[in-house]
Amino acid sequence: MNPFPIALALARRNWLTTALFLFLITVSVALGVAITAQERALREGSARASDPFDLIVAAQGSQTEVMFNVVYLRPSAVELIQPETLATLLQDPRAEFVAPVAFGDSAGGFPVVGTTADMIRHLIGDAPLDGRLWNHVEEAVVGARVPFGPGDSVMSSHGVHFVEADHGEIAVVGKLPPTGTAWDNGVFVPIEYSWSTHGLVSGHDPARYKPDGTPPIGPPFDAAYLAAVPAVVMETGSLPAAYMLRQAYRTPETTAFFPAEVLSEIYGYLGDVRAIMSAMAIATQVLVVAAILSGIVALVQLYRTRLAVLRAMGATKGYVFAVMWTYIMALVLGGTLLGLAGGYGVAQAISAVFSAETGLTLSARIGGRELALAGALAGLGAVLAVVPAVALFRRPAVTYLR
């Protein structure tokens, strides 16, 4: 049998209703898919962005706040690690490197981060740098998404959200390759710059300054000339070393944590939100399918004479059933596929906006969860598609011919 020509004729007869049904299914599926795909992209992207930061040590206070400062370059006022403690941290032989990180300045609207070359090299891995790393206190390298490049000069100012005072021009000497982290949106200067522009010590004994009167760059630092910093990033080399160091720096003065632990706590909350939103998306879909089915039941009453004529010409109940089931399933499947594509598109668009905003590379994709969602809806549609036929077959076909 071939129910398609008749089902198609049915759709064409009420093309506006059919298009509306298709649109409703598409929107409801797209909504559910976009929510789950976007939530996953956010989770994966934010986790990936924290990969370069093995262990973060900060002064006692909120780990979440410190993590947003260090990993996502969302500066807020946090407690500082005092110079004496910093001296101990910097000298810890168990870490492969210890990089202080300092925030609070901005350049051209991008956050300025004071740190060491070790941190930058660790961040970009083996990828080549456009230009070079800094070797002077007033030199900077910029993240891949920052619209400056080697040779540019940019005004560094105090304050991130509101510029309070200008520090002076800094020369951009290098541009980092994309890392997919929030650091793609950063401007990086030697920690010596962050300290000295704020009228603090530079980290080095002035006796050892370069002939031009500027401090040398990078470790080793002089313990007596250190200033406070919001946090340090420790590269630990191995997992046991990471756990050991985390334990070692959970002291009355400092807190030490893996970004992943803080993230998983946040994901815990996010997961609850996701569960609620998924449930709402599924409920929406079920409601849409139910609404459409009741619409089709009404539509079938309009078609009943036509369907009865098919019976009169020798079509079996099975054929008439197949016509209606094909029509409904075409709506459900078509809407589901369009919804998957639409949801993917929406999630991509949101990810792109989010990436531009934060520097985090989010790649929304259609995964098992989205396919399961779509499959469940299609399955539900397949079962519920029986309802209009049952409604029609309650009375003999000949009733509708009189």
Partner 1 sequence: MLRAEGLRLSFRDAEGRGFPVLDIATLTAEAGALTVVTGPSGSGKSTLLHALCGLQPVDAGAIRWQDTDIAPLSEGARDRWRRQTVGLVFQEFHLIDELSPLDNILVPAWFSRFRAGEMRHRAAELMRAYAVPTQRRRVADLSRGERQRVALARALLFDPPVILADEPTASLDRDAGAAVIEGLCALARDRGRLVLAVSHDPGLIAAADVVLRLDHGRLTPVEGIA
From candidates 13, 208, 250, 365, binder to partner 1 by CB under 8 A:
13
Rounded distance between C-alpha atoms, residue 255 and residue 251, angstroms: 6
- Which residue's CB is nearer to partner 1, number 290 or number 398? 398
Residue 60 interacts with partner 1 (CB under 8 A)? no
Could you tell me what percentage of the chain is helix, strand and coil, using 3-state DSSP and rounding each to the nearest 5? 55, 15, 30
Reading the block at residue 349, the tokens are 């668009």
Strand partners, 256: 57
Whole-angstrom Cα distance, residue 327 to residue 305?
17
Q: Where does this chain touch partner 1 (CB under 8 A) — which range of 20-28, 235-243, 251-259, 306-314?
A: 306-314
Token look-up 């520097």 returns: 359
Compare residues 58 and 322 and give the one whose CB is closer to partner 1: 322
The CA-to-CA distance between both ends of the chain, in Å, stands at 27
Query: Under rule CB under 8 A, how many of the chain's residues touch partner 1?
Result: 26
- Our finding on whether 239 is near partner 1 (CB under 8 A) is no
| Kind of pairing between the strands at 97-107 and 231-235 | antiparallel
312 interacts with partner 1 by CB under 8 A: yes
Among 151, 199, 314, 368, binds partner 1 (CB under 8 A): 314
DSSP code per residue over 26-66: HHHHHHHHHHHHHHHHHHHHHHHHTTT--EEEEESS-HHHH
DSSP assignment of 221-270 = PPGGG---BSEEEEE-SSHHHHHHHHHHT-SSSEEEE-HHHHHHHHHHHH
CB of 4 to partner 1, least distance (A): 8
Q: Shortest CA distance to 116 belongs to which of 132, 138, 127, 100?
A: 100
Closest contact distance (angstroms) between CB of 20 and partner 1 is 18
Which of 291, 309, 353, 390 lies at the binding interface for partner 1 (CB under 8 A)? 309
Of 12, 161, 162, 394, the one binding partner 1 (CB under 8 A) is 12
Residue 5 found at the interface with partner 1 (CB under 8 A):
yes
Residue 397 is a binding residue for partner 1 (CB under 8 A): yes
Among 244, 282, 310, 341, binds partner 1 (CB under 8 A): 310
Q: Which of residues 367-396 bind partner 1 (CB under 8 A)?
A: 396
Q: Residues interacting with partner 1, by CB under 8 A?
A: 1-3, 5-6, 8-9, 12-13, 305-306, 309-317, 319, 396-398, 401-402
